């Protein structure tokens, strides 16, 4: 089964917590703090595997989670780092964040690796907090959370040259004639529903990768037919071979077909039209082919046309030589973020989510919430007097004391934070 797009959840490992420990050894006076640091959380790494051709494995493993770092140990020993999670994918794989559309990995080289989610840093043990004023600190840092997000993993066929055109114009026959690939060939539309790839060897010794891609129809850029399922694969190609049924076998007009296909390429992404295009007039053995070719040249006098009859392997060598020539002078086209596509300008207002929010939920009762609070405080770890002291200092450092006063909190009011209640005392 050919699978070229999968949605997965990615979670890098959390850093291990530092620990509170003190040195207790015979003949060692004033041993002092001896707690070690937590280990770093494991990264999530994607690796390009040349032996893979589909994202089928990810379809059945949609949660990718790296190992957490271990807690620190006594005697200032560092906790073990979490093991990285390596995910093998085919060449040509893109990894994008679902929320922003940002491309976090573009794997085009064999065995290329890319970190897509970084593990959290380990917390420091209490040995780091010793000072002249506090020679026996009883607190340590918590490990930081690893990155996590939902990602769209896409496979975009890694080919130098792509065959485009309406269904049943002879693209699969062309691929079979010039490579050892064996695509399905039939006399009905959309015979090819997945990309087929083969290696072309020209008579002068040059070679390149050719992809037979599913046929286009009018409206493909809006998702009709195979739509984006086809168009995204051609973004990897540097040269386009545009195959036209010049015989008009299915009753279509080849002149109109050429315009429709180029309109769809331009509507999907304007940079597709920057790629050099070789126009192939196929099926020149049919009755109306000569007349249609004459009309085509009148309509597009500046477009070079290569005549061919792919079913009998006629006229193919000049096309392959031209494609090899163009590849020598055409650079690779980088894949751009979805938001950079020229699809028009849309202005919309989205209120930014507040990091810290203070609500008056009852008379003299206030609630403090927000993502910054969830990330910074773990009430379960308030066990000692020093933990509470550190908690109060952090509240003051983050400006929450000031925000409470500005919201109208008075001396003696109750403040709720992550399920914990405390009394606000005005100094």
Q: What is the CATH number of the domain that holds 399?
A: 3.30.300.350
Sign of CA dihedral 90, 268, 162, 229: positive
Domain of 291: which CATH number? Answer: 3.40.50.300
Domain range enclosing 415: 357-423
249 and 313: one domain? yes
Is 35 found in the same domain as 67? yes
For the chain, the domain total comes to: 3
Do residues 110 and 130 share a domain? yes
Binding residues: 165-172, 190-194, 212-215, 282-285, 309-311
Instruction: Give the span between the Cα atoms of 194 and 293, in whole angstroms.
Output: 30
Q: Residue 183: how many CA atoms within 13 Å on its side-chain side?
A: 27
- Contact between 213 and 233 under an 8 Å Cβ cutoff? The reply is yes
Walk across the sheet containing 93-97 and list its strands: 63-65, 5-11, 148-155, 93-97, 103-107
Q: What is the pLDDT of residue 353?
A: 62
Do 105 and 184 share a domain, yes or no?
Answer: no
Strands of the 305-307 sheet, one edge to the other? 196-201, 207-212, 161-164, 239-245, 277-282, 305-307
Which of 120, 138, 155 is the last residue before a domain boundary? 155
323 lies in some domain: yes
- Residue 31, domain member (yes or no): yes
In this prediction, residue 198 carries a pLDDT of 84
Q: Specify whether 46 is located in the same domain as 188.
A: no
- Regarding whether 144 and 183 lie in a shared domain, the answer is no
Return the closest-CA partner of residue 183 out of 206, 214, 157, 229: 214
| pLDDT given for residue 97 in this prediction | 92
Domain check: are 215 and 247 in the same one?
yes
- Rounded distance, CA 184 to CA 176, Å? 9
Three-state SS string over the chain comes to CCCCEEEEEEECCCCCCCCCCECCCCCCCCCCECCCCCCCCCCEEEEECCCCCCCHHHHCCCEEECCCCCCCCCCCCCCCCCCCEEEEECCCEEEEECCCCCEEEEECCCCCEEEEECCCCCCCCHHHHCCCCCCCCCCCCCCCCCCEEEEEEEECCCCCEEEECCCCCCHHHHHHHHCCCCCCCCCCCCCCCCCEEEEEECCCCCEEEEEECCCCCCCHHHCCCCHHHHHHHHCCCCEEEEEEECCCCCCCCHHHHHHHHHHHHHHHCHHHHHCCEEEEEECCCCCCHHHHHHHHHHHCCCCCEEECEHHHCECCHHHHHHHHHHHHHCCCCCCCCHHHCCCCCCCCCCCCCCCCEEEEEECCEEEEECHHHHHHCCHHHCCCHHHHHHHHHHHHHCCHHHHHHHHCCCCCCEEEECCEEEECCCC
Tell how strand 85-89 and strand 103-107 pair up.
Answer: unpaired
Within a domain: 342: no
Q: What is the pLDDT of residue 219?
A: 45
Per the domain annotation, does 343 fall within a domain?
no
Residue 280 lies in a domain: yes
Structure tokens at 286: 């049919």
Q: Domain end: 110, 135, 155, which one?
A: 155
Question: In tens digits, what is the pLDDT along the chain, a chain of 427 residues?
Answer: 457 789 999 999 999 999 988 888 777 767 788 999 999 999 999 999 988 878 888 888 899 999 999 999 988 999 999 999 999 998 889 899 998 888 899 898 999 999 999 999 999 998 888 888 888 888 888 889 999 999 999 888 778 898 888 888 888 888 888 887 665 544 444 444 467 788 888 888 899 988 887 655 554 444 444 445 556 777 888 899 999 999 887 778 899 989 988 888 887 765 788 889 999 999 999 888 999 999 999 999 999 999 999 989 999 999 999 999 999 998 887 776 554 444 344 445 455 567 788 888 888 888 888 877 777 676 666 777 777 777 777 777 778 888 888 888 888 888 888 777 878 887 6
Query: Looking at residue 48, what is its pLDDT?
Result: 92
Q: Which residues pair with 365 in a beta bridge?
A: 362, 414
Annotated binding site for GTP: 165-172, 190-194, 212-215, 282-285, 309-311
- Is 390 part of any domain? yes
Q: Give the C-alpha separation, 36 to 336, whole Å.
A: 44
Decide if 125 is inside a domain.
Answer: yes
- Looking at the fold, whether 146 and 170 belong to one and the same domain comes out as no
Query: Binding site residues for Mg(2+), as ranges?
Result: 172, 192
Q: Are residues 167 and 289 in the same domain?
A: yes
Q: Are residues 231 and 283 in the same domain?
A: yes
- Same-domain pairing of 46 and 81: yes
pLDDT recorded at residue 242: 93
Domain boundary among the residues 122, 155, 188 is at 155
95 and 172 in a common domain: no
- Six-digit token pair at 410? 């008075």
pLDDT attached to residue 263: 85
> What's the confidence (pLDDT) of residue 211?
84
The CATH number for 15's domain is: 2.70.210.12
Q: Judge whether 15 lies within some domain.
A: yes
């Amino acid at each position: 089964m050919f699978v070229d797009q999968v949605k997965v959840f990615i979670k890098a490992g959390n850093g291990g917590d530092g620990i509170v420990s003190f040195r207790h050894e015979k003949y060692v006076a004033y041993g002092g703090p001896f707690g070690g640091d937590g280990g770093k959380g494991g990264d999530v790494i994607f690796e390009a595997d040349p032996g893979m051709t589909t994202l089928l494995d990810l379809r059945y493993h949609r949660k990718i989670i790296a190992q957490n770092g271990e807690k620190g140990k006594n005697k200032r020993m560092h906790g073990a780092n979490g093991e990285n999670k390596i995910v093998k994918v085919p060449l040509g794989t893109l990894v994008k964040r679902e929320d922003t559309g940002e491309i976090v990995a573009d794997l085009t080289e064999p065995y290329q690796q890319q970190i897509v989610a970084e593990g959290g840093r380990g917390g420091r043990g209490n040995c780091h907090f010793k000072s002249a004023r506090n020679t026996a600190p009883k607190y340590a840092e918590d490990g930081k959370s690893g990155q996590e997000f939902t990602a769209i993993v896409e496979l975009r066929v890694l080919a130098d040259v792509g065959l485009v055109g309406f269904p049943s114009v002879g693209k699969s026959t062309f691929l079979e004639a010039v490579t050892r690939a064996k695509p399905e060939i039939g006399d009905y539309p959309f015979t090819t529903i997945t990309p087929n790839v083969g290696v072309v060897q020209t008579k002068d010794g040059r070679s390149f990768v050719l992809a037979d891609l599913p046929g286009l129809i009018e409206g493909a850029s809006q998702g009709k037919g195979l739509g984006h399922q086809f168009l995204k694969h051609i973004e990897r190609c540097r040269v386009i071979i545009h195959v036209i049924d010049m015989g008009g076998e299915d009753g279509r007009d080849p002149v109109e077909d050429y315009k429709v296909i180029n309109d769809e390429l331009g509507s999907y992404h304007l940079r597709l039209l920057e790629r050099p295009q070789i126009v192939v007039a196929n099926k020149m053995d049919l009755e109306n082919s000569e007349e249609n070719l004459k009309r085509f040249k009148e309509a597009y006098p500046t477009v070079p046309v290569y005549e061919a009859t792919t079913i009998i392997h006629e006229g193919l060598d000049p096309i392959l030589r031209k494609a090899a020539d163009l590849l020598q002078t055409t650079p690779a086209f980088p894949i751009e973020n979805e938001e950079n596509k020229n699809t028009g300008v849309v202005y919309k207002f989205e209120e930014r989510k507040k990091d810290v929010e203070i609500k008056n939920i009852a008379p003299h009762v206030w609630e403090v919430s927000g993502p910054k609070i969830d990330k910074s405080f773990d009430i379960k770890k308030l066990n000692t007097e020093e933990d509470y002291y550190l908690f109060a200092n952090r509240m003051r450092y983050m400006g929450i004391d000031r925000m409470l006063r500005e919201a109208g909190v008075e001396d003696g009011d109750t403040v709720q934070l992550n399920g914990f209640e405390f009394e606000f005392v005005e100094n």
